[in-house]
Structure 1
């Protein structure tokens, strides 16, 4: 039987960060991935959607990774393997139906001037936000980078109490529960500023009227203002290859087409895994599983190893809205009808009718309807990394975060969804609506189009079993499934009821986002456990 010190199930960003970090710490690591390629939701293809184009078909942008703790810890190895990031001073922009535009720059004065242009006082409000929330950023980001049910979590809570005082801590907590609508309406006057900032909560699977979305909106806005929206040159596959290379260069294994069907246990401890072909892989020290709660507690572990309340909690774990990806290859860069100079340089342009339109589309998708006016996340990776397209060409990476996993109808009353199955016909007709709407803002969309590739929620789930119903975030990020409650209130952080088994991935704290934080948090515990005397290990 093959054996490793640590077996990692899955190969998404958290799994690969964990595996690479363990390999650097001298552990023999085996990564086992059921799909034919490594990377999880990082999937780069060449000659897609047209010859000469390189496209990140799923996740594309890496601000959480570059701005988080995993990148600096591994940067020397990643640099040596040729991972290079490109950034822009305009990570975010928006264009509304009426043609009004706004930008968020890494230069605070530029953003403030643009906000002031839109509404007197909004520029000062932005500067005040950066100062006020920035002074508490250590607490906010600390909550998203700390194992909360632990001594480190207790230290963070005590630090917050010391810095803010009892009344200030209560106020900070209350602000953390407010919606994005409440925060934006209370701070900024301009509807265009609302349209710039509110769509970002969709990148955590929330809507602007959800509790806790205000906190997420602030965190993302500050992260963009401080760190931009970088992409790796050549696509996300470069990061995947580099992380896997750290593992294999250290003598470890990274296998694809290796479907783990069972986590084996003995004496209440994880001892290894079994593959679909019957092969058994031993784990001398630990198993890390980057899977959903249902997969872990209802399928991979034997029932005798999982307490009944944990199984029940896993059954109740909920998934969010689905996602659709539309990739457009253009013979020239996109020409925006409004504010071309600035919008052409932005990493991501949100196209919507404003915050009310965003809210309406979220509501329609939650009622399993195809939104009549979906919010369009228009990414422009070639504006940062020209190597992804032929010389002089352009590309648009479109994401529709308000897409029902199985639609029951169309809010516009134009598309027959049939039985809700995402057929090729349904997928392409809904993509036509999106592209037609975007064409009102990008004047050369028809004339420059040379290729199109569309992925439905059904396609996403077929590619990656963690994306249940096409949910790109592997679980709803509502407050009852976030922070100490992610994935459930019955589980303790990344630990599981089985000794030596850790649960990682987007379904676990701190949730989705290409950061690798959950993998890093679990690794810290694995390494700390290994340093303790055998009788004290848990």
Structure 2
């Protein structure tokens, strides 16, 4: 079978690349090892019939704001895409029974902050006002290949519009730790904790350099635009992209693991599937996969590639993640206030000290005493995901060791995730019970995915790292995945890599797949 391009992996970045190339007249096939497209964006009944759970990704705001969506939105909606917007976006609960959250109503958000600090409420309003002018430049940079003329053009336009001082401040933002950035702008620890919790969505504890950008962008973007989840499930984007690709003449081949990338004269020529079929690719093989899988399993070692392969082998994973999916008889009764039932996300990360401690414990190989929890309440926004009157809860446990050396609490003796995952999940539920009394009695069904389970579900999530590689400064921007190869090329001619392991990193924005395809198509 002959194609212009073969894409390995039917995650959203692979599908975005395939759609863009198919729209340019390329003959494209996407091959996927699993029987279901989606990668880390899947929705499934994993507890009880009728309860639809997003296995990994839930927040689709990055997709809704992406260049890929902007170009294809009418066609995607025609193929069934559905969004469920949340105006009450995220909140944090604190040990003393108080809470703080961000809604799209600026007065409501600022009013909550003013309850803790009038000065911080004014600082929030000022930051939001500046965000309106900053956002086009920052998002323009994140939406440009790295490095590229387009990125340089964004920086030049920003300098012309905002001046040299702004450029210095932006570089400072990109390099700052969450704590340093927040200490310079706010005085109340609860305001800082509310924003800093976003750092742990990646692998940034409060004192890790480079971690300030994501808390800043998420806080301001949620204030400005709200949060978006998928109507009926996050897989709405996968279904719509798959339908659009097929309408453009592309193929999706499921249940087809790739055994090897075929090469000739130093160039990729196609892929060989595990069943022996060969798909020839005249112009490109695109691996929407972790580079360690590509260069560690799908390609034979070559002496000319030894230095590159060595660097890829050292590409670090971020800490592990656990997902706990709950079918509930009702939404949590948050002790901090009934209003929390309206929010898409509730963070259980009450202070910067706790965030620092949980990160240190996890990277030391210890099961954290008090993990940070991201509690998603999708049925508060989209009740169609559960039977009438019932709810699903999406609990992301951050951060955890991939390989267990011990338990920081001294209570769990095992070091095998398969043996202890339910025991550790009990610790998580007990923590949740502390902030939402009675939650245990509301649980109708439970499904736990340990870091090991997540890697089994999606081999790109090595060690349960849902980031497909740490986002620390030495593995981000020009260095993702390794220096000299941040523009999706590899040392093998016609072989390209996209996905979360490449710029601009993790998330549902489809940026790497779309940018790569645009580059290959000559724009």
TM-score by length of 2: 0.96
Q: Deviations over 1:247-289 (max 9, x none)?
A: 2223321111211122222234321111122211011221111
Partner of 1:204 in structure 2? 202
Query: CA 1:408/1:391 → structure 2, altered by over 3 Å: closer, same or farther?
Result: same
Is 1:270 equivalent to 2:268 in the alignment? Answer: yes
Indicate conservation of the 8 Å contact 2:79/2:244, yes or no: no
| Residue number among 342, 349, 353 corresponding to 1:352 in the alignment | 349
In the alignment, the residues of structure 2 paired with residue 55 and residue 262 of structure 1 have an alpha-carbon distance, to the nearest angstrom, of 33
Q: Deviations over 1:121-163 (max 9, x none)?
A: 1110101111224322222222211102222122223223333
In the alignment, the residues of structure 1 paired with residue 305 and residue 189 of structure 2 have an alpha-carbon distance, to the nearest angstrom, of 50
Indicate conservation of the 8 Å contact 2:486/2:502, yes or no: no
In the alignment, the residues of structure 1 paired with residue 65 and residue 245 of structure 2 have an alpha-carbon distance, to the nearest angstrom, of 23
| Residue number among 211, 214, 219 corresponding to 2:212 in the alignment | 214
Partner of 1:413 in structure 2? 410
Q: For structure 1, list consecutive stretches of 5 or more residues without a partner in the other structure.
A: 530-538
Counting only pairs closer than 5 Å after superposition, residues 445-464 of structure 1 correspond to structure 2 as 445-464=439-458
Is 1:134 equivalent to 2:129 in the alignment? Answer: no
Partner of 2:379 in structure 1? 382
Tell me whether 314-323 or 156-165 shows the greater mean CA deviation.
Answer: 156-165
Tell me whether 13-22 or 372-381 shows the greater mean CA deviation.
Answer: 13-22
Q: How far 1:164 moved relative to its partner?
A: 4.1
Is 1:498 equivalent to 2:492 in the alignment? Answer: yes
Is 1:524 equivalent to 2:518 in the alignment? Answer: yes
| Residue number among 366, 372, 378 corresponding to 2:363 in the alignment | 366
Q: For structure 2, list consecutive stretches of 5 or more residues without a partner in the other structure.
A: none
Partner of 1:533 in structure 2? none
Partner of 1:422 in structure 2? 417
Q: How far 1:228 moved relative to its partner?
A: 1.8
Q: How far 1:184 moved relative to its partner?
A: 1.5
Partner of 1:331 in structure 2? 329
Q: How far 1:225 moved relative to its partner?
A: 1.6
Classify the secondary structure of the residue corresponding to 1:41. coil
Indicate conservation of the 8 Å contact 1:148/1:154, yes or no: no
Tell me whether 105-114 or 30-39 shows the greater mean CA deviation.
Answer: 105-114
In the alignment, the residues of structure 2 paired with residue 45 and residue 301 of structure 1 have an alpha-carbon distance, to the nearest angstrom, of 33
Partner of 1:74 in structure 2? 72
Is 1:12 equivalent to 2:11 in the alignment? Answer: yes
TM-score by length of 1: 0.94
- Give structure 1 regions of 4+ aligned residues with deviation exceeding 6 angstroms: none
Is 1:103 equivalent to 2:88 in the alignment? Answer: no
Classify the secondary structure of the residue corresponding to 1:187. coil
Indicate conservation of the 8 Å contact 1:305/1:498, yes or no: no
Query: CA 1:356/1:237 → structure 2, altered by over 3 Å: closer, same or farther?
Result: same
Partner of 2:482 in structure 1? 488
In the alignment, the residues of structure 2 paired with residue 426 and residue 413 of structure 1 have an alpha-carbon distance, to the nearest angstrom, of 13
Query: CA 1:330/1:192 → structure 2, altered by over 3 Å: closer, same or farther?
Result: same
Indicate conservation of the 8 Å contact 1:334/1:394, yes or no: no
